[in-house]
Amino acid sequence: MTNDRLYNTDAIILRRRDFGEADRLLTVYTPHRGKLRLVAKGVRKTKSKKAGHIELFTHAALQVAAGRNLDILTQADTVQAYRALREDLDKISHAYYLVELVDKFTEEHDPSYPIFELLALTLARLADGSPNEQFLALRFMEIHILGLTGFQPQLFLCVDCGTQIQPEENFFHISGGGVLCPACGAHHPHAEPISLGVLKVLRFLQTRPWEQIAGVQLKADTRRAVENLLLRYITFTLEKRLKSVDFLRKLRKDS
Ligand SMILES: [Zn+2]
């Protein structure tokens, strides 16, 4: 038997669930193949050598056999365990949220190296960063995964009239995809005011490299407002995305 059907890939474990008697079904994100679902056979048996290398959040080097329905994991070795993530409840819950974001924003077999890189870097920042760095790393991830999947919020031009946003109190329109100038926002039923401070933080996260962001200290109310706005933007975007994915699936089925 030739090994044409075998391939090697790095992967970060996003999800795992029990499958059959002793197997696990893994959802992983890879650098060049995107999101994949794999069967890890026999890993719930005590003798399994693979089991320790496919814990959640682990970055592993995998060998996989392409299958007719599901690909099968044949070998796994830990590249980076992010051990510090598992020693702290806050870090664990942040890491869960992070892998869930990647899982929900991506489709199988749709590779994006920048998403893989961002995921790996954010796991490291959550594992080793101070609480402030962990907060900023998650917001950085949120705003960049939006950008990398085509949902980048517009923070520089009014989404209604296109004029450049000035340094004053403006409005934000979640379903419109970004900021509104004061003139457009004032008579828009679903616009909400956005302070200059919050807008500046969002722009900073969107345009600056991590090295400049990592040391930023935010006031408690700015911090809460940024987190809250991003969470609502992401929730809205995911609902819209799920609807469009369902719609595309239905189209394909019908055609
Ligand atoms: Zn406007």
**Strand, coil or helix: 212:** helix
Report pLDDT digits (tens) over 107-157: 999 999 999 999 999 999 999 999 999 999 999 999 999 999 999 999 999
Ligand 1 centroid to Cα of residue 172, in Å, is 11
Of the candidates 119, 11, 16, 24, the one whose C-alpha atom is nearest the C-alpha of residue 59 is 11
Every domain of the chain and the residues it spans = 6-80, 129-154+190-254
**Angstrom distance (rounded) from CA 75 to CA 226:** 42
**Strand, coil or helix: 148:** helix
Ligand 1 centroid to Cα of residue 161, in Å, is 4
Of the candidates 113, 60, 62, 115, the one whose C-alpha atom is nearest the C-alpha of residue 82 is 60
pLDDT of 2 > 60? The answer is: no
Q: Which pTM was predicted? A: 0.92
Quick check: 82 and 48 in contact, CB under 8 A? no
Q: Classify residue 226 by burial, with Cβ atoms within 10 Å: 0-12, 13-18, 19+.
A: buried
Ligand 1 centroid to Cα of residue 73, in Å, is 53
Model pLDDT, residue 68: 86
Ion ligand 1, residue ranges at CB < 5 A: 158, 160-161, 181, 184
Ligand 1 centroid to Cα of residue 184, in Å, is 4
pLDDT of 1 > 80? The answer is: no
Q: What's the token pair of residue 36?
A: 């994949």
pLDDT bracket for residue 3 (50, 70, 90): low
Report pLDDT digits (tens) over 101-111: 999 999 999 99
Report pLDDT digits (tens) over 151-210: 999 999 999 999 999 999 999 999 999 999 999 999 899 999 999 999 999 999 999 999
Ligand 1 centroid to Cα of residue 231, in Å, is 24
Ligand 1 centroid to Cα of residue 58, in Å, is 46
Ligand 1 centroid to Cα of residue 147, in Å, is 22
CATH number of 6-80: 2.40.50.140
Strand (E) positions, 137-228?
170-173, 178-180, 192-194
